[in-house]
Amino acid sequence: MYRSLSIGILLLSFAAAPLGAAPQEITLYRQAARVTELTKVRFQPAGKQLQHCLIIISGQADPASFQAIPRGNDLVKIEDIAWRRLPKEDDADLKARRRTTSQLKETKNGLLAELEGIESQLQFWQQQTKAKAKTPAEAALIATNIGRNTKKAFLQKLSISEEITILNRRIKQLEEEVNASDSAAQALWEGTITVSGTAAPLEVLLSYSYTLSGCGWRPVYRLDAVIPENKIKFNWEAEVWQNSGVIWQDVDLRLAVTPLPSVSPSMSLTPPSPFVDPDTATHPKRSKSPGKKKPLPSLATGESNDAGAPSPSALPGGFPLQQVVKTTLPSGLRKKIILQEENWPAAFDYLARPDNDSPVYLQAQVRLSVTREIPRGEAVFFRNGSFLHRGEFVFSGQQESIIIGQDPLVSLVRSSSPEKNERLWRWEAQNNQPFPIKMRIETSIYAAAGDVSQPAPAPVEEKPGLWVWTLGLQAGEKKVISCYYQ
């Protein structure tokens, strides 16, 4: 059985006892790993001026990626490496997991059959409600029996359903553990390394590396906007995993921050663009203004954005590898490693884009004293310790506008116009937080100054086609703004 062998165990000869290879470095990519190991091997004669030994590596390794370099002996030259698959038998631990999973499934099937019987009982007693009693006493007796037996059956149903739920969780956990071990242990790779340089028995320090699937990592972030203190508590962790079938004991992990080319980061949660087509926006009917429409720039890039929403910045290239302290990583389990914890200074305001009937978003303007290169990953966003949402996060440079999430305690609601003017909108901005806030309201189809009489306050045109109100709202305060549309 090979489960007890460490990754890359080498054999002294075809019949010799194994020596453990020492992992020198493991670089984790998003969905794979590059494993580098160092060990002393003893080659045996295999013909004129040739020596050979056997090497065994994980079944999830890619033999085509294998590279080996003899250290400290310039005369030794690797001539050939030949590979073959070795069948793998389940070890005692894996057999026990399979046996337990099978037993739990049998128990679950018995409970399902029992649950089916209880359902039949419930249907029977429910049908008895249609029985006709000859006397009031008989009716009372029937009702009592129906109630008592229905209650008993229902309680049994709840108890069995709870047992089935627990069994399902345990079965799923065991199946994941079996799959993790099984995928790596179904077969191993045995390589025959042939070298030239001398006919005498030879001991060489051998360094070798290979690519291993079933491994990877992902960045996980936590951003807590502490508004009263004007800061964001930033936490960056690496969630790492490997399914090689063996424990990585006290290894140095290096994380390749750039994702593999096959990984396509998904879009992050962002508020909708303030720039909309006046003919398709959800406004009351109004007159069109031919000739005034033009492509409006994206708020994020300042360029035309046909999709109508800011696109998150592309993942910056050239991220360095992140050195991680020594850690032990069991096979089949996930582990989180803290990479960075710090406080970021931030100025907070609330962003609303009512042209799209959007909610109000809490956003932070972050300005750091040093450059940060933080790759795209999953983030959990909080406001003063309260969960807001999960989304994606990426940061590059020293300053960034970060959307923290929707705040249900801050609102911007459209109200009807008393003048019944289809071109006039009124919005009510309200702050139900226990602290003062700033609200930024953006629109792209506000009537240009001088076209019509404008109710105060009037917005400011920050750039062509972008009109902005900036409101200060005390705790519990409400303000009303009005706008004529073209």
Q: Whole-angstrom Cα distance, residue 192 to residue 401?
A: 56
Q: Tokens for 300?
A: 């994020």
- The Cβ of residue 264 has, within 10 Å, a number of other Cβ atoms equal to 6
Parallel, antiparallel, or unpaired: how do β-strands 215-226 and 231-242 relate? antiparallel
Q: Which of 111, 54, 119 has the alpha carbon at shortest distance from 82?
A: 54
> Which are the contacts of 153, defined by CB distance < 8 A and separation ≥ 6?
118, 121, 122, 125
- The Cβ of residue 41 has, within 10 Å, a number of other Cβ atoms equal to 25
> Exposure string (b/e) for 15-25, b if CB count within 10 Å is 16 or more?
eeeeeebebee
94, amino acid identity: L
pLDDT of residue 198: 67
Maximal CA-CA distance, the chain: 109
> Which are the contacts of 82, defined by CB distance < 8 A and separation ≥ 6?
191, 192, 194
Q: Whole-angstrom Cα distance, residue 348 to residue 351?
A: 10
Q: Tokens for 19?
A: 């020596």
Query: Rounded to the nearest 5°, which phi and psi values hold at 145?
Result: -65, -45
Q: Tokens for 274?
A: 């303030």
Predicted structure pTM score? 0.59
Q: Tokens for 76?
A: 């030794």
Query: Rounded to the nearest 5°, which phi and psi values hold at 362?
Result: -80, 125
Owner of token pair 């129906």: 146
Q: Whole-angstrom Cα distance, residue 210 to residue 195?
A: 19
Residue pLDDT, tens place only, 355-384:
665 688 899 999 999 988 888 889 999 998
Owner of token pair 């009124």: 426
Say if CB 15 and CB 181 are below 8 A apart: no
Residues in the chain: 486
Beta bridge partners of 267: none
Residue pLDDT, tens place only, 339-361:
889 999 999 999 888 766 568 88
Q: Tokens for 460?
A: 């400011």
Beta bridge partners of 348: 364
Q: Whole-angstrom Cα distance, residue 483 to residue 475?
A: 25
pLDDT of residue 381: 94
pLDDT tens, per residue, the chain with 486 residues: 333 333 333 333 333 323 346 677 888 888 899 888 888 888 887 777 788 888 888 888 888 889 888 887 777 788 889 998 887 666 677 778 888 888 888 888 888 888 888 888 878 877 776 667 677 777 777 777 777 878 888 888 888 888 888 889 888 888 877 776 655 445 788 888 888 876 666 788 888 889 988 889 989 999 999 988 999 999 999 999 988 777 888 888 888 876 544 333 333 344 444 444 433 444 443 433 333 333 333 333 233 333 333 232 333 333 455 667 788 888 888 999 988 899 999 999 998 887 665 688 899 999 999 988 888 889 999 998 989 888 999 998 999 999 998 888 898 887 655 555 556 677 888 999 888 889 988 887 665 443 344 445 677 878 887 888 888 899 999 888 877 665
Q: Tokens for 213?
A: 């699937």
Residue pLDDT, tens place only, 241-291:
988 777 888 888 888 876 544 333 333 344 444 444 433 444 443 433 333
Beta strand segments in 215-360, E: 215-226, 231-242, 248-255, 322-329, 334-352
pLDDT of residue 221: 95
Please classify residue 209 by burial: count the beta carbons closer than 10 Å to its beta carbon, then call 0-12 exposed, 13-18 middle and 19+ buried.
buried
Say if CB 411 and CB 476 are below 8 A apart: no
Q: Which of 320, 319, 337 has the alpha carbon at shortest distance from 328?
A: 337
- The DSSP string of 167-229 is HHHHHHHHHHHHHHHHHHHSEEEEEEEEEES-SS-EEEEEEEEEEESSEEEEEEEEEEEEGGG
> Which are the contacts of 166, defined by CB distance < 8 A and separation ≥ 6?
none
Q: Whole-angstrom Cα distance, residue 373 to residue 341?
A: 14
Say if CB 243 and CB 99 are below 8 A apart: no
> Which are the contacts of 145, defined by CB distance < 8 A and separation ≥ 6?
128
Q: Whole-angstrom Cα distance, residue 465 to residue 299?
A: 11
| Per-domain residue ranges of the chain | 10-88+186-212, 92-184, 215-270+312-406
